[in-house]
């Protein structure tokens, strides 16, 4: 195994199989484009287990992902894909940068989901873009942008229902897609975890995601563990 790439929350390694990479989930957490940093025992373990359960659930519902197999506590094997440099954010309830950008209160429910694109660039702080930017920057064709939006909305529908069964509201999330090298198909990649989704308890409204770290609410890993426990009861 050779280290290939290190991001803020994960590391990628090559494996003996040229089509497969090993994805290691780290304990490090960052927020606000890495202005804020911390390390949490078990974060890698929890996020790996949550992503694995969600990917399996999504696959069962017909959503293709780059998951190949579970490896151990902090590693998954994933199909090698070329990650599109467009992050897709879906919002069901106003929170985070949406509230900041347009000056509305957190918690307002949208009539229909909002889909946003951002340019995956740490140097620029993942700025908001649209399909025209993506086309002119060569990140995605118009057809691909439409496909990303359509796929993200399908993921949203499946996740809303699933998290609802787990007693949580899916406020918003960020996903990434990759193109497979064999067929060129666009599949879900990266992770789906409380680092990348906002989740509120259905009854109390308690925040159960990385906002506990961003906003210094405490009990970050306790909440991630509770998210995993609830998910495991419903898969
Ligand atoms: P935002 O409100 O800060 O734009 O975040 C929207 C969603 O995207 C939220 O669920 C957190 C997730 N997210 C990431 O996964 N990575 C990021 O770098 C950012 C900024 C947000």
Query: Is 98 a pocket residue for ligand 1 (Cβ < 6 Å)?
Result: yes
Query: Is 197 a pocket residue for ligand 1 (Cβ < 6 Å)?
Result: yes
Model pLDDT for residues 141-153, shown as the tens digit of each residue: 999 999 999 999 9
Query: Is 120 a pocket residue for ligand 1 (Cβ < 6 Å)?
Result: no
Q: How far is CA 90 from CA 14, 17, 37, 38, 52, in A?
A: 31, 34, 25, 26, 20
Q: What is the rounded distance in angstroms from the CA atom of residue 159 to the CA atom of residue 209?
A: 15
Residue ranges and CATH numbers for the domains of the chain are 3-81 (3.30.200.20), 82-232 (3.30.470.20)
Q: In the beta sheet, which residues pair with residue 187?
A: 178
Q: What is the rounded distance in angstroms from the CA atom of residue 105 to the CA atom of residue 90?
A: 18
Q: What is the rounded distance in angstroms from the CA atom of residue 55 to the CA atom of residue 99?
A: 29
Model pLDDT for residues 187-234, shown as the tens digit of each residue: 999 999 999 999 999 999 999 999 999 999 999 999 999 999 999 999
Cα of 98 vs centre of ligand 1, distance in Å, is 10
pLDDT at 2 over 90: no
Confidence (pLDDT) at 106: 98
Contact call for residues 43 and 31 (beta carbons, < 8 A): no
pTM over 0.95: yes
């Amino acid at each position: 195994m050779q280290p290939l790439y290190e991001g803020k929350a994960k590391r990628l390694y090559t494996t003996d199989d040229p089509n497969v990479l090993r994805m290691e989930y780290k304990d490090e957490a960052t927020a606000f484009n890495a202005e804020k940093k911390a390390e949490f025992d078990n974060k890698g373990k929890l996020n790996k287990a949550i992503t694995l359960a969600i990917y399996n659930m999504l696959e069962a519902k017909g959503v293709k992902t780059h998951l190949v197999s579970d490896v151990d506590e902090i590693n998954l094997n994933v199909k090698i894909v070329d990650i599109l440099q467009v992050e897709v954010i879906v919002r069901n309830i106003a929170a985070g940068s949406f509230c900041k950008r347009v000056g509305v209160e957190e918690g307002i429910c949208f009539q229909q989901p909002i889909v946003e694109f951002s340019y995956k660039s740490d140097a620029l702080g993942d700025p908001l873009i649209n399909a025209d930017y993506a086309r002119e920057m060569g990140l995605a064709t118009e057809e691909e942008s439409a496909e990303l939006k359509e796929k993200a909305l399908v993921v949203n529908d499946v996740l809303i229902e699933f998290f609802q069964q787990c007693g949580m509201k899916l406020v918003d999330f960020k996903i990434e897609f990759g193109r497979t090298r064999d067929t060129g198909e666009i599949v879900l990649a990266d992770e789906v975890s409380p680092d990348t989704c906002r989740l509120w308890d259905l009854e109390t409204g308690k925040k159960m995601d990385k906002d506990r770290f961003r906003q210094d609410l405490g009990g970050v890993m306790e909440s991630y563990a509770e998210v995993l426990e609830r998910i495991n009861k419903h898969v």
